[in-house]
Structure 1
Amino acid sequence: MRNIDFSKIFKNNWIHILAVGLFLITTYIYFQPQFKGHRLDQHDIEQFRGMSNEVVHYRDVEGGEPLWTNSMFGGMPTYQISTLYEGNLLKKVTRFLSFGMSSPAGIFILYLLGFYIMLLCMRVNPRVAIFGALIFAFSSYFIIILQAGHNSKAAAIGLMGPVIGAFYMAYRYNLRWGILLSALFMGMQLTSNHFQITYYLGIILVGFGIAEFVRAFKHSQWKRFLTATIGILVAYFFALGINYGNISLTADYAKHTIRGGNDITINPDGTPNEGESTSGLDKDYITQWSYGVGESMTLLSPNIKGGSSSAIQNSQFAEKLRDPDMRRNANLIAKNNIYWGAQPFVSGPVYLGIIVFFLALLGMVYLKGPLKWTLAGVTILALMLSWGKNFMGLTDFFLDYLPGYNKFRAVTIILSVVELTIPLLGVLFLNKLFKKREEIKNNIKPLFYTSGGLLGILVLLSFTGLGDGYLSPEEKDMAYSPKEYIESRKADIRKQIKEDPRILQQNGISINDKAQIEKLVDQNVPTVAQIDQQFDALVDFRKSIFQTSMWRSILFLILGIGLILIYVYTTIMKEIILIGLALVTLGDLISVDLNYLNNKKQKNKRDYIHWIEDADFDYPLVPTQADKQILEAEVSQDPELKKKVENARVKSDGRKTRVNPRALWSKKFQTLNMNTNYRVYEQRAGFSSSRPSYFHKALNGYHGAKLRRIQNVKDFHIDRGNMEVFNMLNVKYFISQGRAQKNPGALGNGWFVKTLNVQSNPNKELLALGSLFTINNLENTFQLHINDEKVEKDTITGFENIHLIKNTDTLFSGVSQITRSNLNAVFVKDVNGEMSWIPSKELQKDTLNSFTKIVEIKQVYEFNPKEEAIISEEVAEKVSSLQYSGNGQIDFVSYLPNEMKCRLSTNEKQFLVLSEVYYPSGWKAYLDEKEVEIHRVNYLLRGLEVPAGDHELVMKFEVPKFHTSNNMALIGSIILFLLIAGAFVKDFLMKKQKNEE
């Protein structure tokens, strides 16, 4: 320690110490509530808590990783929910770079340090690098995703910069450190576990690689290029090795998810789905969130599409409704959406700052070499790919031919690339400006042309708009064709009345009173005059928002141009100009960011809008009355269970004297969950919420990579309310309207069936879980069309697009209201010419033959999971029989997420069906300690043949690869740390030797 000269260290590194200090102060100021006992109220984190609660409890009680959870979708692996790879020590490095802080402050620090490290690796002046880090971190999208709780995505974005910087370093000036840091930073980036961002990072690196190839070609530096390339590839291979467990298990899992292929070739209505599918996600799903072409202007001006999706009265522009020229029509438009872009809804714009964009344009003018063309090319490519369905030519090409691209949803996420490349280009220009002021002064015309051109475009657009009429695509249909909209709306209401006659009863209208029905329909649709008045007011309001946003950008741009010109034409110190640019640019960015994440209080002046207390963050959900009903129902049947639940206690943290009620409820439900095995389905939550999963084993869930089979079952059966599917999945309770309703038909955890129903392909397997009907056209004067094909007779599920047509009139559309009730029915015409559906039983009473039969529907098959199991031809070849008695005793002994035990007793061979999701990559069955094969039955579940006698059945989720890869990660991490330490030592000794000489 005596030989260490701290003053010299400080002297050589004071700027970096200043940078880190400034970053910490900035983080503290912006995220101040986090340092005062609060956490950000993040939607996705709340969902994460729901989906991972069972896993966390298992770790606390059993130790280790379960790798499987039954809390969502009936069961799924935990690889992309919550799996800890303790051997991967790179997480600790990321934690160190975050100064041990949790999200959002810790990730924001990653933004800052990551971009700063990249710029230092690219030999940018540290002062300019500080500026670059700040403008990068405050890009609006990066703040918005923190507010939403997209933590893994945000961390992955924060670590993109260091990977790029190390890549650049290896090729340009320090091969050894470039390679070592590439291994370290790529390993950390992969550890953040957002492979979509890693994929986009790969696109950037390919672009950088092309630039280095061109440079090597130009200067004949092939040896350096090849050495760096091989070294980088080895470094990335090493990083992959450390993360092999997560990558490999995720790749195995992806094959079985909606991001893999689909064995079903039809849609729920029976039409083929080939044109909508890829070997990954469906194209419609991938491009559901596609940036509009005109919407790309939000990069330059934040509110030119309104900002975030919300009613005007709840938006940042609500006060504008009180303006004298807006007040008259305020009530007409207050509930309209402030956002009028092309996406379903958004949390805010992707805005990177008009000054940042201006600096990047100057970079394209003044920088030399292939790197600027790489950055421009990657930027343009990423922008066009973000357009998704609005530019399907390019999107289709990438989905069909670029490996892996079709595994990722929400193409707008690729704009994170644009928010990195444009600031980088701008910072590289600024770095050159401060180094070569005279050179740029002597070539000033391009700066004037660029400034004038950009200003001119913005001014012009402020008057002309973007050609969207200040309306969303859906609103245009309504505003430009009001009569067609009104007729379409009327048709929808008539259809609702036809499918649910209770609407008429609630309004006191007879089903035969056509005049009153039409009056009711007219009352529920606007007139053309009302539509015109509303949209005129809405367009005026939005136009004012658009123009305000544009002139805001123009003002900031003028300030930015002024500062650059002052520096060029005066001798003012660059530090002053840099501070000025930072203040103006950050003022621009932060004023936008504060609309989406701020420290404002609610109206009660006590609670924050965006922040919650630590205790509420740890236990974000409270049980509803329905959840408590279920708990009470379960413990009332089992005194031993009741005792366990009542004795559930929360571990003291050594600080709190009062037990958090939320924590106590959580513990009670965790105890209930570990000692029972039933499922819950909350109808309102569907497949878009993990709230039920926090308290129960649920059929609900929230995940972007759910198993393909459960998704298909949802689309074909769960969404249609198929009770037999709910029964086979052991959905014991339904939650609806805040109350729990017990399902008496739930089949329990397992049962013996009598019949195996063999189906020849997956389509038929899936359809066999429902009912089948024959439909027969009995009148030649009518045409029956099913999915646009004319038929006389066919077998249907009832959810096809079915129309009965005479001449040009459609007499009915769809028969789902008939088939949902599993009725045999006939479409008839009475003596007055009125047409309607009548149950066949009722028609038999028509002894006077007063009805003419037109179309007849008869049920020919109904799935009965208690008696039969649906199997494939492949499974049929492996079982000894298709018929069984179905007699026997099943007693479940224990049930953990990754292991279940039961005792079986039967006098003859039987076939056992378990209400557990089939997953071939891990689940093993042991009958009396001997492994037996698990068969897939009922398209989704597990089943196996059981010989006569008394047996113990144990099912375990065993993944040897997890333990092997964990050891690999530990060894790889230690080797990497030793290599880096060795490089430090070598540099130190070389420097010491040089000083002694």
Structure 2
Amino acid sequence: MQQQEGFKKYLPHLLVLIIFAVLSCAFCYPAFQGNTISQHDMFTWLYASQESREFYKQTGENAMWANNMFGGMPQILIDYYPQTSWVNKLNQIIQFYTHGQVPNPATFFFLAMVSFYILMCTMRVNRWLGAIGAIAFAFSSYNPIIVSAGHTTKMLDIAYLPAIIAGVLIAYRGKYLQGAALSGLFLAFFIDTGHYQIVYYGLLLIVILVVGILVNAIRQGKLKQWFIASIVLALSAGFAFAASSARFIQISEYNKYSSRGGSELNGPQKGSGGLDREYAFRWSIGMGEALCTLVPDLYGGSMSEDIGEDSHFGQKLSQLGAPQQQVAQITQHAPLYWGPQQETGNMSGSVYFGAVICLLFVLALLVIRNPLKWWLTGACAFFFFLAMGKNFPAFNYFMFDHFPYYNKFRTPSMALAIPSIIFPILAIWALRDIFTDKISREELWKKVRLSVMITGGLCLLILIATQTSMEYKGVLDGQLAQQFGQAGPELFKALIQDRASAASSDALRSLVFVLLGGAVLWAYAKNKLNKQMAIGALGLLIAADLIPVAHRYLNEKNFVDNDTYAMQFEPNAADLQIKQDKDLYYRVYDLTSSPFNDSRASYFHKSIGGYHGAKMQIYQDLIENQIGRYNSAVLNMLNTKYFIVPGDKGAPMVQANPGALGNAWFVSEVKWVNTAREEMDALNAPSLGNPADTAIKDAFNPVQTAVLRNTFKNEMGNYTFGKDATAHIALTKYGPRRMSFESNNSQNGLAVFSDIYYPAGWHATIDGKETPIMRTDYVLRAIKVPAGKHAIEFYFDPPLFASAERTALIGNILLALLIVGALYLTFRKSGQPAFPVDKNAPQVK
């Protein structure tokens, strides 16, 4: 009987979870009709991870090194299979995730709502208010935007953050073990998911929150409780980090060699151990764009908006004689965005928090009496400043140059993910205080009236500005207009009208929602609505406000049928032709798309291109200085055996490269250089398009000469070398992390291998005896090979792999013990609830 009564206490929460599941599935309904979401970044990952996934299927082991992108790079940033982590397995289970398959997007919204609902329960919020806050958080427009783009790890880490905050609050409330277990579990998921920029932002938010709680503890004389909670939380955080650290530890090792670690090529300004500042701040919101959190299409939304054939733009296209089918196609992807973010190809939509949520956020500042609200508000301002990037240079350049690890990240606009959590927290907190009568009805009306005046007044000012002072001209409009030829100026005049229309209609829309939200609160303050009706009305308003905007960025157009999806992984005629070559290992350069922003070729071939935000820095240098100029000698030394180029009517065709040097060769001489710049310049040679270029003196010949930095003179010593006419090295066995060669040379030789140099894990042996690997030709490997016939082997054994897995195993065990202890403590008394419950909270039946 007691067990039945205990179960009944959880039935209301179960009902809320069912609502979340239904809402998530309804929002993503095409995924349940035999369709797959078409996510650019997910396709990119599937292409890039193909070799490592196949290797794992065959061996059950991590490939560790990926040869199918950028000539080779560590696998850890592309694909990883933890060996000892129950955290990783549970993380995949709750996502309903199958490795190597596109996930169902409904899962992301469901997890986001559940996580936020846990936080609301922790804050002793009525379950219906908690559900409303969860919906507001999950369907804030940033989330469907990143889901549609395929930024799944980012979405998951945003989703997990509220539950981490919940655990922190529980611990500081005195339930130390339960809070530590909850925060530790979700922090482990947070780190395991591995979007480290969101992890960085999330930890900054936790630090701000903990400091705010400390100030409160000092005022209330509860320092002892604060210290105990802090110690327990620190231990749980340590367990969580250890449990999910295997990948993080290895990435930290790789980071100093990646493009996030800086380049020495152009001197100290690029060798400071971080991204180039200009590159890092490309995606910075303008100060005016912050208002998109209140008015979604104030700056046009995205670069691919469906504005309809009856738009000014569509009508102008028709007037200019465009076929109706073409008009329909163009207006479905109109460049409506006109804000300051110049990387418009990545401008996928406006970050909209909701007009009603913004109203409640302002009301929270007037209603909530807990000073912690100011810490959360300050955190909002801090992250808005970060999002402005180069448009708030005094603050952000200081952060970039001086704040630890901040210069490893790009896309400042991502910082808006944190206010998208804080806004609904404060909004629902305000409603909790209002509906538990912590403020009188008379005072409530005064606060509501002021909040409506502030928020609605801002909407009204924006509406007036959309008609009077805004120009609607984007920084790249000139380039876009050129694509339309002589009709470009006329078409963009029409597009400006559509931009103005979108801005004004959304400003009016937000004003209406603010007034309606204010009207509900007025009716409650004047006793014209009871609590239940007011909560229901506000919930409907918030859902009606946010979900349609979210639907702009994730809808049936983002899905493809399964046959169309499968076609993305079908080889074309050029791919099939190249695959007929049974050579063990060669490389391909695909020029039918942007070769270093597209990883499709990596799915079928070993490619010298690909896409990744943190490729090896030495390879990035080579792209910028040599490959991008089609340096024939450099392409040959990378064993680029085939080019895929546009043929008749754009169809891809194959061009063989007879100059490709194969997997390894002996050289006759060394050219010693002192600096990175000298080494790079020593590779200068004619381009493919101008092989007789006489302007290049002392053109690089990789068959004859190896370019070495003087830092390797100790390894070379007094070694003399040469090669006879029949000297050769042949690859006999290929694997991503182990390759075998046979060599034959009557003289001592210096062998160059067409594989990318990486000092943190690659080893070379000659007849089983290890020999040092030297970096040559800026990116390749070289070893000294004695005269005669020899068996040479290269194998990849990252020094941190085994120790990182051991650390993860220990962390998994400790975290499991912590969670078991917390569960025992929570349920040792029959009927003990998992979360604190406010008996005074309004209950809607």
Query: TM-score, normalized by length of structure 1?
Result: 0.77
Q: Which aligned pairs between 1:213-232 and structure 2 lie closer than 5 A?
A: 213-232=214-233
Q: Which aligned pairs between 1:474-485 and structure 2 lie closer than 5 A?
A: 474-475=476-477
Deviation at 1:629, TM superposition (A): 1.6
Change (3 A) 1:688 1:993: closer
Distance 1:259 1:220 in 2: 45
Letter of the 1:295 counterpart: E
Deviation at 1:964, TM superposition (A): 3.2
CA contact (8 A) 1:112 1:137 kept: yes
Q: SS in structure 2 opposite 1:291?
A: coil
Change (3 A) 1:445 1:327: farther
- Which residue in the other structure is 2:47 paired with? 50
Kindly indicate whether residue 590 of structure 2 is the aligned counterpart of residue 682 of structure 1. yes
CA contact (8 A) 2:38 2:565 kept: yes
Deviation at 1:323, TM superposition (A): 9.1
- Which residue in the other structure is 1:863 paired with? 700
Letter of the 1:298 counterpart: C
Letter of the 1:80 counterpart: L
Deviation at 1:396, TM superposition (A): 0.4
Distance 1:954 1:862 in 2: 31
Change (3 A) 1:277 1:761: closer
Change (3 A) 1:82 1:476: closer
Deviation at 1:233, TM superposition (A): 1.4
- Which residue in the other structure is 1:567 paired with? 524
Q: SS in structure 1 opposite 2:77?
A: coil
Change (3 A) 1:326 1:39: closer
CA contact (8 A) 1:755 1:882 kept: no
Q: SS in structure 2 opposite 1:82?
A: coil
Kindly indicate whether residue 678 of structure 2 is the aligned counterpart of residue 761 of structure 1. no
Deviation larger for 363-372 or 537-546: 537-546
- Which residue in the other structure is 2:293 paired with? 299
- Which residue in the other structure is 1:598 paired with? 555
Change (3 A) 1:412 1:428: same
Bigger Rg, structure 1 or 2: 1
Deviation larger for 726-735 or 870-879: 870-879
Q: SS in structure 2 opposite 1:751?
A: strand
- Which residue in the other structure is 1:626 paired with? 574
Q: Which aligned pairs between 1:645-660 and structure 2 lie closer than 5 A?
A: none
Change (3 A) 1:767 1:322: closer
Deviation at 1:215, TM superposition (A): 0.4
2:755 to 894, 910, 916: 916
CA contact (8 A) 1:103 1:151 kept: no
Distance 2:828 2:179 in 1: 19
- Which residue in the other structure is 1:471 paired with? 473
- Which residue in the other structure is 1:206 paired with? 207
1:928 to 767, 773, 777: 767
Distance 2:260 2:682 in 1: 25
Q: Which aligned pairs between 1:98-247 and structure 2 lie closer than 5 A?
A: 98=95, 102-247=103-248
CA contact (8 A) 1:138 1:590 kept: yes
Change (3 A) 1:710 1:276: closer
Distance 2:204 2:194 in 1: 17
Q: SS in structure 1 opposite 2:734?
A: strand
Kindly indicate whether residue 755 of structure 2 is the aligned counterpart of residue 946 of structure 1. no
CA contact (8 A) 2:679 2:707 kept: yes
Distance 1:873 1:993 in 2: 70
Higher relative contact order (CA 8 A, sep 6+): 2
CA contact (8 A) 1:383 1:414 kept: yes
Distance 2:53 2:320 in 1: 53
Letter of the 2:437 counterpart: K
Letter of the 1:756 counterpart: V
CA contact (8 A) 2:303 2:334 kept: no
Q: SS in structure 2 opposite 1:877?
A: helix
Change (3 A) 1:525 1:544: closer
- Which residue in the other structure is 1:966 paired with? 805
Change (3 A) 1:563 1:190: same
Gaps of 5+ in 2: 647-651, 834-845
Change (3 A) 1:69 1:552: same
Change (3 A) 1:399 1:222: same
CA contact (8 A) 1:363 1:429 kept: yes
Change (3 A) 1:36 1:760: same
Distance 2:270 2:826 in 1: 57
- Which residue in the other structure is 1:729 paired with? 638
Distance 1:768 1:323 in 2: 54
Deviation at 1:373, TM superposition (A): 0.8
- Which residue in the other structure is 1:703 paired with? 612
Kindly indicate whether residue 736 of structure 2 is the aligned counterpart of residue 892 of structure 1. no
Q: Percent identity?
A: 31
Distance 2:277 2:313 in 1: 43
Letter of the 1:205 counterpart: I
- Which residue in the other structure is 1:315 paired with? 306
Deviation at 1:921, TM superposition (A): 0.6
- Which residue in the other structure is 2:659 paired with? 745
Distance 1:531 1:458 in 2: 33
Q: SS in structure 1 opposite 2:515?
A: helix
Deviation at 1:960, TM superposition (A): 4.7
Deviation at 1:767, TM superposition (A): 1.2
* Aligned residue pairs, count: 810
Distance 1:988 1:234 in 2: 22
Q: Which aligned pairs between 1:463-862 and structure 2 lie closer than 5 A?
A: 463-465=464-466, 467-475=469-477, 536-570=493-527, 572-599=529-556, 609-614=557-562, 617=565, 620-632=568-580, 634-635=581-582, 676-683=584-591, 684-737=593-646, 738-771=652-685, 823-824=693-694, 859-862=696-699
Deviation at 1:763, TM superposition (A): 0.9
Deviation at 1:967, TM superposition (A): 3.5
Change (3 A) 1:323 1:911: closer
Gaps of 5+ in 1: 267-273, 480-488, 494-523, 600-608, 636-674, 773-815, 825-857
Distance 1:324 1:722 in 2: 48
Change (3 A) 1:443 1:350: closer
Q: SS in structure 2 opposite 1:893?
A: strand
- Which residue in the other structure is 2:378 paired with? 377
Q: SS in structure 1 opposite 2:274?
A: coil
Query: TM-score, normalized by length of structure 2?
Result: 0.91
**Deviation string, structure 1 residues 99-152 (Cα, Å, up to 9, x no partner):** 669431222221111111122222222221111111110111101111111111
Distance 1:265 1:387 in 2: 27
Change (3 A) 1:618 1:821: closer
Q: SS in structure 2 opposite 1:79?
A: helix
CA contact (8 A) 1:470 1:542 kept: yes
CA contact (8 A) 1:111 1:137 kept: yes
Q: SS in structure 2 opposite 1:319?
A: coil
Change (3 A) 1:300 1:982: same
Letter of the 1:621 counterpart: F
- Which residue in the other structure is 1:280 paired with? 274
CA contact (8 A) 1:258 1:707 kept: yes
CA contact (8 A) 1:894 1:900 kept: yes
Change (3 A) 1:868 1:397: same
Q: SS in structure 1 opposite 2:418?
A: helix
Deviation at 1:531, TM superposition (A): 8.0
CA contact (8 A) 1:353 1:585 kept: yes
Deviation larger for 956-965 or 420-429: 956-965
Distance 1:80 1:680 in 2: 22
Q: CA RMSD, aligned part only?
A: 2.8
Change (3 A) 1:993 1:21: closer
**Deviation string, structure 1 residues 866-914 (Cα, Å, up to 9, x no partner):** 1111000011232145763233232211010000001112212100000
Deviation at 1:316, TM superposition (A): 3.0
CA contact (8 A) 1:15 1:127 kept: no
Deviation at 1:63, TM superposition (A): 2.3
CA contact (8 A) 1:326 1:541 kept: no
Q: SS in structure 2 opposite 1:341?
A: coil
